[in-house]
Chains A and B, each alone.
Chain A
């Protein structure tokens, strides 16, 4: 009692008493504090996990969408070919964020004079770019060709070596395997670009580029490429870009709706639990006031207690939430979600805010009640 009297006299004493009360309240009423803390932890965990996923999943999904292949195509203008250094320039602009694959096409003749489209390309890169190509065996040595299933039936039905002619110049090729895509590639023959160029003398006419990133990033890349190579046409593949934007937008919206629902539910539960927790301690409140504590002190005490609870809950929940988001990323995409520490302040401030609101409501309710009434149990 003398403590409370001196409390008003000395500031230092005041603060130490304040903290002592905070700590003792937490220790003595472990069960009650633990229940309230659990509510905050659950809310913080759910919020962290959902926000982390929401931020992280988009880049992961974009990677999945790159399975659709190139989203930018670079073509030579009418009657010209793409300059030789274009590929190197493109690769330096992409700087590892994408794949660029050169293509060159001619119409060659088979030994019985049938026309067939022959393409030269970097087969290792194509394998990465066009993951849907179903290939029985990729060519490994030079003068080995990859035959589209329909081309194979026409030029080498039994897998035997064959000759092709381009303006009278022959090349003899061994089929390594067949290619099946269900589209135009099935009618073509694919060669390594080196073999193709020494045979035909025709240079690359198209570079297909798959770059990952948002629509703005892709458009920025297109602009950079166009500036670096003004003599060619750089165009987006609208089929791929528009469909991707659409599907990704819907997925994001679904995820956002789910996040909002979860966050609101858990926040409301925190509110309900904390209000109950504080109302339950109206006797403490009454005793403090009866002993002469000012309204401000009592209000500050309960607010500080709630804020501390919110902060501790937020920190524990943040750790757990990061873990859950990482697990979901791992389980679904095979790569765990990157922890986003920029979420921490949001979660921390959110939790403290909710805790403070749930402290202020009962305090203002209790303010109007005489301490004697509460102590008498009415």
Chain B
């Protein structure tokens, strides 16, 4: 009898049930999509923050003082220690290799351009160099680590003898892309004019091999800039790994803190010392936590709003049916059986609406991710039971007051429509 009542109620009141179900489905899909966005937005924004460039720098261990003002190196070229270029692919062999978005080695060389008067720095680096470590192939270089570098003309090939000339230097030399520039007496083709808004505007950027050849030291690099996705720093991140107990050490080592990635870089590259570039590394932590916090609060607010909206819709559908309640009571139904009928209907609605809403919300989050971040936001299937539970709880909460009122009606008034 009970099952039949519920079944008939759904069969005969299709419009009402559809409306209430749609309200629940809509509320649930918004909630699902928002939960998805809130859990994933940190990771997505973190990747976007990589457009600030490298956040770690690997220096030789026995490093000497830099004497450099606005991109002009004033130190004798023979000075200083170097890292070995052959060690670089090992970066892709470390534990957090997938968090390394890219790296670019640099080798600055003091050179004389065109005539003897113009002294400048030529920096050797990778533009987008294919490398491989073990079976893994990857492409890295300044184009990955410094997305704001712009070239008028074309980028040189990493194996070529072509160079880029910084925009301010080019202006003072009267250099155009496609022309030739004489560096230390040798002519090189200029494929493009580089604009960065930084010290590189006064420099010549060349493939690493060329810089090594001019310096006369094959296979060396001065330092390596690494751009890695990191977790915002906390008190645990700042602990010295040497003082940690073995379990704590494992936890520290396996968290993508800037500190632990720096530590692993030091392990990967012999005789090196890795530092955080604090301007980028420290600031992205604060910016990221603000954006994450904002999204979390907005998600809470939206969950609350969709819960209230669903409750209001449920209250309405039950209120509309007080004549039915009156009839049932007149036929001798008790408060408990009426309430359980309504609760069963609500639960059924919540389950159907919740399932539809979860599917809709997953689709919504997926599309929103593709639209905003060019990479989809996936909802974990683990969330499904959780979302259904929330849907049922919210629907019940919205129904309780209305059901209690419906049960209290005097059937006579309810039937006469005077309630």
Q: B148 and A250: CB pair below 8 A?
A: no
Listed stretches A41-49, A193-201, A301-309; interface member: A41-49
Residues 212 to 271 of chain A near chain B (Cβ within 8 Å): 235-243, 246-247, 250-251, 253-255, 257-258, 261-262, 264-266, 268-270
Bound state CA distance, A268 and B294, in angstroms?
25
**Quick check: B67 and A187 within 8 Å, CB to CB?**
yes
Q: Is B198 touching A67 in the complex (CB atoms < 8 A)?
A: no
Interface flag for A168 (CB, 8 Å): no
Q: In the complex, what residues of A have CB within 8 A of residue B317's CB?
A: 276
A237 to B52, CA, bound (A): 11
Task: Annotate A67-83 by CB proximity to B: 1 below 8 A, 0 otherwise.
Answer: 11100010100100000
Tell me if B287 and A265 are in contact (CB < 8 A). Answer: no
8 A Cβ contacts from A30-49 to B: 31-32, 35-36, 38-39, 42-43, 45-46, 49
A184 touches B302 (CB 8 A): no
Of A17-25, A128-136, A290-298, A347-355, which binds chain B? Answer: A128-136
Q: What does the 1/0 interface line of B280-310 toward A look like (CB < 8 Å)?
A: 1111001100110111011101100110111
The reply to whether B70 and A75 form a contact with Cβ atoms under 8 Å apart is yes
State the CA gap A202–B417 with chains docked (Å): 93
- Residue contact B26 to A254, C-beta cutoff 8 Å: no
Q: Does A206 contact B (CB under 8 A)?
A: yes
When each residue 39-59 of chain B gets 1 if its CB lies under 8 Å from chain A and 0 otherwise, what string results?
001001100110111000100
Task: Verify A115–B316 contact, CB threshold 8 A.
Answer: no
Interface flags for B247-287 (1: CB within 8 Å of A; 0: not) read: 00000000000000000000000000001111111110011
* A-chain residues with CB within 8 Å of residue B26 when the two chains form the complex: 264-265, 268-269
Count residues on chain A whose CB falls below 8 Å from chain B CBs. Answer: 84
Q: Which residue of B lies closest to A246 (CB)?
A: B51
Interface membership of B122, Cβ < 8 A: no
Answer whether A187 and B279 are a contact pair too, CB < 8 Å, given A247-B45, A253-B372, A280-B320. no
Partner of A331, one of B52, B286, B297, B320: B297
Is there contact, CB below 8 Å, between B69 and A107?
yes
Let me know if A151 is at the binding interface, CB within 8 A: yes
Q: A116-B65, A250-B373, A258-B298 are in contact. Are A237 and B197 (CB under 8 A)?
A: yes
Closest to B296 in A: A332
Query: Are B41 and A266 interface neighbours, CB within 8 A?
Result: no
Q: A115 near B279 (CB under 8 angstroms)? A: no
Q: Which residues of B contact A137 (CB under 8 A)?
A: none
The answer to whether the Cβ of A51 comes within 8 Å of any Cβ in the partner chain is no
A residues in contact with B22, CB < 8 Å = 268, 272
B234 interfacial contact with A, CB 8 Å: no
Closest to B284 in A: A68
A 148-160 to B, binary, CB cutoff 8 A, 1 in contact else 0: 0011001000000
- B residues in contact with A133, CB < 8 Å: 278
Within 8 A of A (CB), among B371-396: 371-373
- In contact, B287 and A328 (Cβ under 8 angstroms): no
Contact yes or no, A183 B279, CB < 8 A: yes
Contact indicator A38/B312 (Cβ below 8 Å): yes
Which residue, of A32, A238, A242, has the highest number of chain B Cβ atoms within 10 A? A238
Quick one: which of B286, B308, B319, B402 contacts A280, CB cutoff 8 A? B319
Is A143 positioned at the interface, with any CB of B under 8 Å from its CB? no
B278 near A180 with CB under 8 A, answer yes
Instruction: Establish whether residues A42 and B309, one from each chain, have CB atoms under 8 Å apart when the complex forms.
Output: yes
A114: B residues at CB distance < 8 A = 65
Best-buried of B65, B148, B277 by chain A (most CB within 10 Å): B65
Q: Which residues of A sit under 8 angstroms from B417, Cβ to Cβ?
A: 283, 377
Once A132-B278, A243-B148 are accepted as A-B contacts, the answer to whether A238 and B287 lie under 8 Å apart by CB is no
Report Cα–Cα, A45/B312, bound state, in Å.
14
Most buried by A among B293, B312, B405: B312
A341 within 8 Å of B (CB atoms) = no
Chain B residue nearest in CB terms to A283: B417
- Interface stretch (choices B2-10, B29-37, B207-215): B29-37
Judged by a CB distance under 8 angstroms, whether A53 is at the interface is yes
Chain A positions within 8 Å of B330 at CB level: none
Contacts of B301 in A (CB 8 A): 46, 49-50, 262, 324, 328
B287 adjacent to A65 (CB under 8 Å): yes
Residue of A nearest to B305 (CB): A46
How far, in angstroms, from A107 to B405 measured CA to CA in the complex?
Answer: 85
- CB of A276 within 8 A of CB of B48, answer no
With both chains docked as a complex, state the minimum distance between the C-beta of A170 and any C-beta of chain B, in angstroms.
Answer: 19
* Chain A contacts for B298, CB-based, 8 A: 50, 53, 255, 258, 328
The residues of B that contact A242 with a CB separation of less than 8 Å are 51, 147-148
Q: Check B27 for interface membership: any CB of A closer than 8 A.
A: yes
A270 — which chain B residues lie within 8 A by C-beta? 309
Q: Is the CB of A132 within 8 A of B283?
A: yes
Q: Does A372 contact B (CB under 8 A)?
A: no
Q: Could you say which of B57, B70, B283, B368 contacts A206, with CB atoms under 8 Å apart? A: B70
A187 touching B66 in the complex, CB below 8 Å, given contacts A257-B372, A328-B301? yes
Which residues of A have CB within 8 Å of B48? Answer: 246-247, 250
Nearest Cβ on chain A to B18's Cβ, whole angstroms? 10
A320 to chain B, nearest CB (A): 11
Alpha-carbon distance between A116 and B69 when the two chains are bound, in angstroms: 10
Say yes or no for A165: interface residue by CB 8 A criterion. Answer: no
Contact B277 A258 (CB under 8 A): no
- Asked if A272 and B198 make an inter-chain contact with CB atoms under 8 angstroms apart, the answer reads no
CA distance A250 to B371 in the complex (A): 10
B261 to chain A, nearest CB (A): 13
Taking a contact as CB atoms under 8 Å apart, the answer to whether A67 and B283 are in contact is: yes
* A162 on interface, CB distance cutoff 8 Å: no
Inter-subunit contact B277/A182 (CB<8 Å): yes
* A68 pairs with B279, CB closer than 8 A: yes
Judging by beta carbons under 8 Å apart, are A269 and B312 in contact? yes
Q: Give which listed residue, B57, B67, B372, contacts A107 with CB less than 8 A.
A: B67
Query: Do B197 and A115 touch (CB < 8 A)?
Result: no
**Residues in A whose Cβ lies below 8 Å from that of B51:** 242-243, 246-247
> Does A68 contact B69, Cβ atoms closer than 8 Å?
no
Complex partner residue of B309 from A246, A247, A265, CB under 8 angstroms? A265
Give 16 A-B contacts (CB < 8 Å), ordered by A residue. Answer: A39-B313, A42-B309, A75-B70, A132-B283, A151-B65, A237-B198, A243-B147, A246-B48, A250-B373, A258-B299, A261-B30, A261-B34, A272-B20, A276-B19, A324-B301, A377-B417
Q: A65-B287, A238-B198 are in contact. List 7 more A-B contacts (CB 8 A).
A: A43-B305, A105-B69, A117-B66, A154-B65, A182-B275, A243-B51, A269-B27
Chain A positions near chain B (C-beta within 8 angstroms): 31-32, 35-36, 38-39, 42-43, 45-46, 49-50, 53, 57, 61, 64-65, 67-69, 73, 75, 78, 105, 107, 114-117, 130-134, 150-151, 154, 180-184, 186-187, 206, 235-243, 246-247, 250-251, 253-255, 257-258, 261-262, 264-266, 268-270, 272-273, 276-277, 279-280, 283, 324, 328, 331-333, 377
